[in-house]
Amino acid sequence: MKLTLLLSGIVAATTMAACAPEGKDQRADFGPVNDLRPLFDLPPVADAPCQPIAELCNGVDDDCDGLIDDADPDIEAATVNNVDHCGACDMKCEAPNLVRSACRMGLCRVAMCTPDFSDYNGDYADGCESNCTLSNGATEACDNADNDCDGTTDEGFDLQVDDQNCGTCGETCEAVPGGNTGCSLGACVLSQCDAGLVDANADLSDGCEYACVLRATELIREFCNGLDDDCDRSIDEAADLKLPAEDFCGQTGVCAYECGEDADCGDPGLRCNGGHVCVDVSGLGLGASCVDDAECQAIHGGLACVTTMGQDGVPLRSCVERRHEPICDAGAGFRCVRSPHVSTGNELARCDGLDNDCDGDIDEDFVAALFVDGVRRQTPRTCAVGEGACRGLGAIRCTDDGLGTVCDAVELEPEGDRDENCDGRDDDCDGQLDEDFVDAVVRVGAVDVFAYEASRPGANNVTPGLDLVPDDGVDAYIETRACSRAGTLPWANVSAAEAQDACAAAGGRLCTRDEWTAACAGAAANAYPYGRDYNAQTCNGGAFDTDRLAAGNQDHALAGGTLVGCRAQGIYDLSGNLKEWTDDVVDGLRVVRGGGYESNVPAGLTCSAVNDLKPDELRSSTLGFRCCRGQ
């Protein structure tokens, strides 16, 4: 019996040793090894199969899949809420200052802290990291304490700009007299002054202590007005002043710089200051009290008297260095102080060749009288004195007393005591033109007829004469007379009225049609001035070639008497050369006689040609005139 029980125990022990714990078939033995009880031994191939259970962290393949513990994906169920195996086998939840840990979803959590410790940051790794005690309702205050126990003290407070905690907690920036303060860079500073007040001494304790209206701008700190524009307790200080235009005092005429360097002053006791004024090297007179510039310049010419304002606001007048540029004289504004030797003023009624008002212009009130082109000043206005050949030319200039203008021309000496030339010149300077000239005339009946076609004074065989004074606005025929001379080109391009005036100036008139015909035909009543029959080569008609050496037929007016055969009774060119105005008018048109150098029809060149009528205003290079005197 005892033996039987012993064998049974051995069999049971060996049987259990052959099976995996927890779920293996308890009948399984050691396979081919015979049991002690042959009656119950199974064949070696009939060992019981593995029976799976949930995988555990125990080093055994609990679920019979050939994988053990963490190598088995099925281990998750055993590590989700296990503080000894949290998230993985053997991952035990342990951290400082904890009474108890917990595992939730594979992550270690704080379950209970050691007394006086807290977990504020929610980080399990450092456990209950703080032994801080919440204060101020867990709201952070500026008190050098960690009120919300987050490990940071006084966060959210910028001691550099916080008006209630400036530099340190509890330091408040309070109001000051006349203004308010604010926090900047950790210190209380003046932030704003009341209207009309400024902080001039930078002392916070007395606040905005200076009553002043700020007028300065970013670019201009001081204006010349006798006021403290930038509220710095100084008035009209030169370094900050807004200066007027550069040429305010002028740089021309009497206002030119007095010096550019010391040598220009011509005295070793003088120097040229930055204002281009010669001043005393020793500073003579500077700071002396004064009433006006004259008082300072009595000490030295390089000084000026100006007003400044003291710190107490009391005006002070004292001598300072004179400068070429504007000087600020407090409430009087900017002014220019000249040398006592210089007199300036406007140009009104002053004609002296000086720029007296320093504006760059000279004698501007007389510019129209002095210059043809006015303000451009490039063409002086010319003038003349005397008559005829004595006429002297010059230019308008200022009078010596500077009160007006005068012509600087000088009258010339006369060329002779008679005016015998028909040249449009008053040769004897008596105010009359050519009064002693004797025209060549021929007496025909009771009338003196010009022996030659009328010509201008000064004409010759090359030029028909010119307007003697072309810019005086007077036509040449009015200011000159008609002349009867041999060898001069006749006066063409003349209207009937102009011809009448020119004859009148010579003491005559236009010949009538009958007077003209009588002079041409003579007592024999010839058809042409040279006879009864037409001859193309006797007079300068259209068929006459004035230059036989040139190709073609050349036609132009010839000097009077050139064709000596073209005459009647000693009167030349009554046929051809120029047609001639007469004094007769038919149906509003004036009778013209004689034909011209372009007349090609012989009948038009006769002494009695009819139907040649022209309007009085006509001017033509083929049309001239001759004069008659008498009756």
pTM above 0.85, yes or no: no
Q: Is the dihedral of CA 467, 470, 475, 479 positive or negative?
A: negative
What is the predicted pLDDT for the residue at 568?
97
**pLDDT above 90 as % of the chain:** 33
What average pLDDT does range 309-317 have in this prediction?
69
Query: What is the spatial distance between Cα 322 and Cα 303, in angstroms, rounded to a whole number?
Result: 5
Is the per-residue pLDDT at 29 higher than 70? no
Answer with the residue of higher pLDDT: 605 or 357. Answer: 605
What is the predicted pLDDT for the residue at 67?
85
DSSP code at position 56? -
Q: How far is CA 216 from CA 179, 207, 230, 445, in A?
A: 20, 21, 5, 103
Cβ-based neighbour number of residue 206 at 10 Å = 12
460, 452, 477: which is closest to 423 by C-alpha? 460
Q: Which two tokens stand for residue 97?
A: 């200052």
Query: What is the spatial distance between Cα 41 and Cα 538, in angstroms, rounded to a whole number?
Result: 185
- Tens-digit pLDDT profile for residues 89-132: 888 898 888 878 889 888 899 888 888 787 778 888 888 877 77
Query: What is the spatial distance between Cα 463 and Cα 434, in angstroms, rounded to a whole number?
Result: 19
What is the predicted pLDDT for the residue at 27?
38
Mean pLDDT of the chain: 82
Query: What is the spatial distance between Cα 280 and Cα 267, in angstroms, rounded to a whole number?
Result: 10
Residue 413's H or E segment, with its range, is: none
What average pLDDT does range 512-533 have in this prediction?
96
- DSSP line for 316-385: EEEEEE--SS-EE-GGG-EE----TT------TT--SSS-TTSSS-SSGGGHHHHBTTGGG--SBPEEEE
What average pLDDT does range 485-495 have in this prediction?
95
Homologous superfamily (CATH) for 431-631: paralog of FGE (formylglycine-generating enzyme) (3.90.1580.10)
Answer with the residue of higher pLDDT: 402 or 612. Answer: 612
The pLDDT confidence band at residue 319, using thresholds 50, 70 and 90, is very high
| Long-range contacts at 274-282 (CB < 8 A, ≥ 24 apart) | 274/323, 275/321, 275/322, 275/323, 275/324, 275/325, 276/323, 276/324, 277/302, 277/321, 277/322, 277/323, 277/324, 277/339, 278/302, 279/303, 279/321, 279/322
Query: What is the spatial distance between Cα 188 and Cα 182, in angstroms, rounded to a whole number?
Result: 5
- Tens-digit pLDDT profile for residues 36-89: 444 444 454 445 567 788 878 887 877 788 788 666 677 777 888 888 889 888
What is the predicted pLDDT for the residue at 483?
94
What is the predicted pLDDT for the residue at 145?
80
Q: How far is CA 496 from CA 96, 606, 613, in A?
A: 139, 21, 12
**pLDDT above 70 as % of the chain:** 83
Residue 392's H or E segment, with its range, is: strand 392-398
Q: What angle do CA 41, 42, 46 make, to 5 degrees?
A: 160
Contact between 215 and 228 under an 8 Å Cβ cutoff? The reply is no
What is the predicted pLDDT for the residue at 475?
55
Residue 272's H or E segment, with its range, is: strand 270-272
257, 244, 274, 224: which is closest to 358 by C-alpha? 257
The pLDDT confidence band at residue 443, using thresholds 50, 70 and 90, is very high
391, 394, 435, 436: which is closest to 413 by C-alpha? 391
Q: What angle do CA 408, 414, 419 make, to 5 degrees?
A: 130
Is the per-residue pLDDT at 512 higher than 60? yes
What is the predicted pLDDT for the residue at 9?
40
The pLDDT confidence band at residue 13, using thresholds 50, 70 and 90, is very low
Q: For the chain, what are the domain ranges? A: 1-46, 431-631
The pLDDT confidence band at residue 609, using thresholds 50, 70 and 90, is confident
287, 288, 290, 284: which is closest to 270 by C-alpha? 284
What is the predicted pLDDT for the residue at 41?
47
Query: What is the spatial distance between Cα 258 and Cα 277, in angstroms, rounded to a whole number?
Result: 6
Contact between 370 and 382 under an 8 Å Cβ cutoff? The reply is no
Query: What is the spatial distance between Cα 596 and Cα 271, in angstroms, rounded to a whole number?
Result: 86
What average pLDDT does range 579-601 have in this prediction?
96
Is the per-residue pLDDT at 314 higher than 80? no
Residues in the chain: 631
What letter represents residue 73's amino acid?
P
Listed in sequence order, the residues at least 6 apart from 391 whose beta carbon sits closer than 8 Å to its beta carbon are: 384, 385, 411, 412, 426, 429
Q: Which two tokens stand for residue 432?
A: 């009359």
Cβ-based neighbour number of residue 315 at 10 Å = 12
DSSP code at position 124? G
Q: Which two tokens stand for residue 136?
A: 């101020």
- Give me the residues paired with residue 30 across strands: none
Is the per-residue pLDDT at 4 higher than 50? no
What is the predicted pLDDT for the residue at 22?
40
Query: What is the spatial distance between Cα 438 and Cα 494, in angstroms, rounded to a whole number?
Result: 23
Residue listed under structure tokens 């840990």: 101
What is the predicted pLDDT for the residue at 447?
97
**Residue environment code for 362-400, b if the CB has 16+ CB neighbours within 10 A, otherwise e:** bbbebbeebbeeeeeeeeebebeebbbbbbeeeebbbee
Is the per-residue pLDDT at 422 higher than 90? no
What is the predicted pLDDT for the residue at 20?
39
What is the predicted pLDDT for the residue at 202?
84
Cβ-based neighbour number of residue 326 at 10 Å = 20
The pLDDT confidence band at residue 15, using thresholds 50, 70 and 90, is very low
492, 500, 458, 462: which is closest to 579 by C-alpha? 492
What is the predicted pLDDT for the residue at 65?
80
Is the per-residue pLDDT at 478 higher than 70? no
H-only helix segments in 418-484: 476-479
